[in-house]
């Protein structure tokens, strides 16, 4: 972000006095605004949000559920999105022009989404299509900017989430011989591997070096993985899995597919945040679980299952710092600004981007 952008953002920063309010006072003020607005306002919350925010969510979900909810809800005038920037952009694109999407703290980005920009993507596409011709279809994880989604939509591809990646990759490979999967190499690799594609038929595109890292026969290449990752999920390692199993051979290990291939292959299960929640909900009392995903969610699962023994796969894990930017003071501030008629943190994706990105989003939603 440039200095100019930061100066512009100063105006949109939450006034300091919000930090001095008591929790009780903030909670009461949020409650009463929600009451006054009724169905005119909705607060969706991603599973990685903190409890202080999630307690006010009208709807919680994984990325797919939140996108589906945004498309379905035609009633709310204001959608105060408790999640990160790309999710709020997706909600804006899937809702009508009359609905306003607000992100309570504009600094709530996603470092993985920032690992693919348009210039890099265009350079990559040019080189790959020069080399492989019209044999590639692009897919992007929803954890990407609206511009990248538009690029993918314009080239006949689709978005994916961790809940539906298998269906979408299968569909894509029925359309073209190869896929370019942005920006998370791990979700792409784990999904393709689960579909039976050998690692020897996958390559990595390095967007910094503008280079395809592949040693196999070009004819066999099926999956081109963008060299991006989630810095939260890369902190789970095979050492954690080995140490956990050594300490307790009965414990079951469940991880998010943003973890590396090595970690996912050693775990018992892998899946989206919804899949992790559902698996633990359906497990027997007394079972033991070690979970490899973001801390706020792991802590919430631990609290809601006192009859099971649950821990984080990495006890020294940091939470997702950008998800954590959305806190109670920011939620209250954004609601009060809406009530004053001066909303801040409004997410408006330009029309020319929306039109193409919707192509990619709708393709995904129709497949799932
Ligand atoms: P899901 O909720 O779709 O599993 O995604 C996890 C995530 O990293 C969101 O940023
Ligand atoms: Fe992005 Fe990872 Fe945080 Fe999800 S957990 S928002 S992928 S940085």
Whole-angstrom distance, CA of residue 154 vs CA of residue 148: 10
Q: DSSP for 255-277? A: E-TTS-HHHHHHSSEE--HHHHH
In this prediction, residue 81 carries a pLDDT of: 98
Same domain, 97 and 150: no
Q: Are 69 and 44 in contact (CB under 8 A)?
A: yes
DSSP for residue 9? H
Full-model pTM? 0.95
Domain for residue 224, yes or no? yes
In this prediction, residue 9 carries a pLDDT of: 58
Whole-angstrom distance, CA of residue 85 vs CA of residue 255: 24
Among the atoms of ligand 2, which is closest to the Cα of residue 184? 7
End position of a domain, from candidates 194, 209, 230 = 230
Same domain, 192 and 102: no
Q: Are 117 and 140 in contact (CB under 8 A)?
A: no
From residue 349, give the alpha-carbon distance in Å to each of 147, 175, 189, 325.
9, 29, 30, 21
Confidence check: pLDDT of 268 > 70: yes
The pLDDT of 225-243, averaged and rounded, is: 97
Same domain, 280 and 333: no
DSSP for residue 283? S
- CB contact set of 6 (below 8 Å; sequence gap of 6+): none
Same domain, 9 and 87: yes
Domain for residue 366, yes or no? no
Q: Is 114 helix (H, G, I), strand (E, B) or coil?
A: helix
Q: How far is the CA of 167 from the centre of ligand 2 (A)?
A: 22
Domain for residue 362, yes or no? no
- Read off the pLDDT band of 2 (50, 70, 90): very low
Q: How many domains does the chain have?
A: 3
In this prediction, residue 22 carries a pLDDT of: 98
Look up residue 119 and give its two tokens: 């210039």
Domain for residue 23, yes or no? yes
- Read off the pLDDT band of 317 (50, 70, 90): confident
Same domain, 153 and 192: yes
Ligand 1 lining (C-beta closer than 6 Å):
47, 62-64, 110, 143, 161-163, 258, 272-273
Can you state the percent helix, strand and coil of the chain, rounding each to 5?
Answer: 50, 15, 35
Same domain, 220 and 245: no
End position of a domain, from candidates 203, 230, 257 = 230
- CB contact set of 277 (below 8 Å; sequence gap of 6+): 47, 297, 301
Whole-angstrom distance, CA of residue 294 vs CA of residue 62: 12
Same domain, 248 and 329: no
Q: Mind listing the pLDDT tens digit for each residue in 341-358?
A: 999 999 999 999 999 999
Q: How far is the CA of 273 from the centre of ligand 1 (A)?
A: 6
In this prediction, residue 8 carries a pLDDT of: 57
Q: Smallest Cα–Cα separation from 361: which of 142, 63, 174?
A: 142
Q: Smallest Cα–Cα separation from 365: which of 68, 90, 165, 44?
A: 68
- The answer to the question of whether 366 is labelled as a binding residue is no
Same domain, 88 and 146: no
Strands 202-206 and 211-213: antiparallel
Q: Mind listing the pLDDT tens digit for each residue in 100-136?
A: 999 999 999 999 999 999 999 999 999 999 999 999 9
Same domain, 289 and 327: no
Domain for residue 368, yes or no? no
Domain for residue 60, yes or no? yes
Domain for residue 117, yes or no? no
> Alpha helices of 204-350 — where are they, by DSSP H?
238-247, 261-266, 273-281, 295-304, 328-340
Same domain, 160 and 217: yes
Whole-angstrom distance, CA of residue 355 vs CA of residue 147: 11
Q: Are 318 and 280 in contact (CB under 8 A)?
A: no
Widest CA span in the chain? 64
Same domain, 226 and 245: no
Domain residues for 277?
Answer: 233-312
Q: Tell me the average pLDDT of the chain.
A: 95
Q: How far is the CA of 143 from the centre of ligand 1 (A)?
A: 8
Ligand 2 lining (C-beta closer than 6 Å):
84, 110-112, 143, 230-232, 258, 294, 320, 322-323
Q: Mind listing the pLDDT tens digit for each residue in 128-165?
A: 999 999 999 999 999 999 999 999 999 999 999 999 99
Same domain, 32 and 69: yes
Task: Give the domain CATH number at 328.
Answer: 3.40.50.10800
Among the atoms of ligand 2, which is closest to the Cα of residue 322? 3
- The answer to the question of whether 257 is labelled as a binding residue is yes
Domain for residue 258, yes or no? yes
From residue 35, give the alpha-carbon distance in Å to each of 24, 51, 308.
16, 20, 36
Confidence check: pLDDT of 296 > 70: yes
- Read off the pLDDT band of 315 (50, 70, 90): confident
Whole-angstrom distance, CA of residue 141 vs CA of residue 148: 10
Whole-angstrom distance, CA of residue 330 vs CA of residue 310: 31
Strands 100-102 and 202-206: unpaired
């Amino acid at each position: 972000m440039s200095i100019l952008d930061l100066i512009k953002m100063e105006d949109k920063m939450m006034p300091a006095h919000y930090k001095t309010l008591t929790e009780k006072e903030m909670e009461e003020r949020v409650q009463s605004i929600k009451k006054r607005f009724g169905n005119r306002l909705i607060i969706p919350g991603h599973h990685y949000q903190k409890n202080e925010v999630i307690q006010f969510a009208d709807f919680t979900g994984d990325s797919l559920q939140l996108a589906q909810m945004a498309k379905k809800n035609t009633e709310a005038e204001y959608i105060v999105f408790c999640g990160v920037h790309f999710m709020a952009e997706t909600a804006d694109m899937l809702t009508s022009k009359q609905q306003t999407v607000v992100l309570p703290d504009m600094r709530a980005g996603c470092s993985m989404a920032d690992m693919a920009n348009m210039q890099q993507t265009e350079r990559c596409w040019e080189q790959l299509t020069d080399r492989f011709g019209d044999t590639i279809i692009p897919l992007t994880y929803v954890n990407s900017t609206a511009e990248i989604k538009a690029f993918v939509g314009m080239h006949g591809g689709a978005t994916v989430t961790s809940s539906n990646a298998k269906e979408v990759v299968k569909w894509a490979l029925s359309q073209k011989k190869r896929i370019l999967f942005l920006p998370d190499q791990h979700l792409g690799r784990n999904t393709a591997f689960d579909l039976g594609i050998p690692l020897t038929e996958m390559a990595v595109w390095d967007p910094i070096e503008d280079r395809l890292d592949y040693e196999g026969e070009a004819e066999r290449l099926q999956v081109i993985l963008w060299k991006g990752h989630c810095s939260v999920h890369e902190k789970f390692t095979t050492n954690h899995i080995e140490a956990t199993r050594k300490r307790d051979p009965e414990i079951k290990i469940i991880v998010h597919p943003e973890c590396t291939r090595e970690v996912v292959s050693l775990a018992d299960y892998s899946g989206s945040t919804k899949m992790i929640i559902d698996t633990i909900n359906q497990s027997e009392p007394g079972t033991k679980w070690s979970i490899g995903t973001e801390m706020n969610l792991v802590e919430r699962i631990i609290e809601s299952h006192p009859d099971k023994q649950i821990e984080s796969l990495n006890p020294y894990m940091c939470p997702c710092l950008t998800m954590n930017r959305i806190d109670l003071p920011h939620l209250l501030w954004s609601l009060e600004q809406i009530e004053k008629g001066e909303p801040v943190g409004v997410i408006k994706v330009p029309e020319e981007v929306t039109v193409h990105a919707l192509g990619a989003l709708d393709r995904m939603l129709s497949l799932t």
